Amino acid sequence: MGLQMPNQSLTNPAAEAADAVSTPAINADEVTRHYTMGGTVVRALDGVSLSVAAQEFVCLLGSSGSGKSTLLNVIAGLDRPTSGRITIFGQELAGLSSEALARHRREVMGIVFQSFNLVPSMSVEENVELPLRFAEVERAERNGRTRQALERVGLTHRLGHRPSELSGGEQQRVAIARALVNRPRLLLADEPTGNLDSRTGEGILDLLQTFNRELGMTIVMVTHERSLAERYADRMLFLADGKLSAG
């Protein structure tokens, strides 16, 4: 059985599903993120406003240092904006404590990083199960959901292997399974193919596109490869010097 999205309501699923789609996944309103380096103010984000619809697949493009990863980190709540507002599925992030923000991120989002960020001493199965442990999910359910996530990415035959025993593409698929295991509504991916060869990278993006189309998962992906964005994304947005445009 494939990975399923959680039921949204026990009373009126159709109405709840319609509401879920009509509520934007992401709203950013005049978001800035400024740093001070050696007395110089770096405007990593400079008045960024955007809206991403539920179930949309959006790619963020731009050169190195344009603010792509900073924007993704602000959307994820891993970094706080200097000013402006970020709302995720109707929840404004600014009013959340660090603990509430971590819980919101765990329940709503999955995050995939370029560098995989797997725990080297843990097996594939243990790495994927880790978010469920943090969420205090019961052991039997943890086991089932971990296997489902790994089945989705085609790695059930690698359960007991360590990350060092996997190829780069397999490690990224483990990272994707880990991001999926909490059944997020929003998947954020920061250069998920950046460390992979082109063929393996396309396989990863095929997976992401499947999650978007079959599971209704909203995806925001940072990339510097316009050809891939044109092939997979519903929409492309471009960042330059901390400012956003539609290209």
Q: Which CATH architecture has domain 54-79+96-245?
A: 3-Layer(aba) Sandwich (3.40)
pLDDT of residue 20: 53
pLDDT of residue 13: 38
pLDDT of residue 247: 61
Sheet holding 57-61: strands in order across? 109-112, 186-190, 218-222, 57-61, 235-240, 243-245
* Domain spans of the chain, in order of start: 54-79+96-245
CA atoms within 13 A on the CB side of 70: 27
DSSP 6-31: PP--SS-HHHHHHHHHHS-SEEEEEE
Measured distance CA(53)–CA(246) in Å, rounded: 15
The terminus-to-terminus CA distance of the chain in angstroms comes to 40
Measured distance CA(211)–CA(32) in Å, rounded: 31
Sheet holding 40-52: strands in order across? 40-52, 26-37, 83-88, 91-92
Residue found by looking up tokens 């909203």 in the block: 218
Burial class, 46, CB count within 10 angstroms (exposed 0-12 / middle 13-18 / buried 19+): middle
pLDDT of residue 12: 42
Q: Confirm if 149 and 177 have CB atoms less than 8 A apart.
A: yes
pLDDT of residue 149: 92
pLDDT of residue 116: 87
pLDDT by 10s per residue, the chain, length 247: 444 443 333 334 334 444 555 789 999 999 999 988 888 888 999 999 999 999 999 999 998 888 999 999 999 999 999 999 999 999 999 989 999 998 898 889 999 988 889 999 999 999 999 999 988 999 999 999 999 999 989 999 999 999 999 999 999 999 999 999 998 999 999 998 888 888 888 898 999 999 999 999 999 999 988 998 999 999 999 999 899 987 6
pLDDT of residue 4: 42
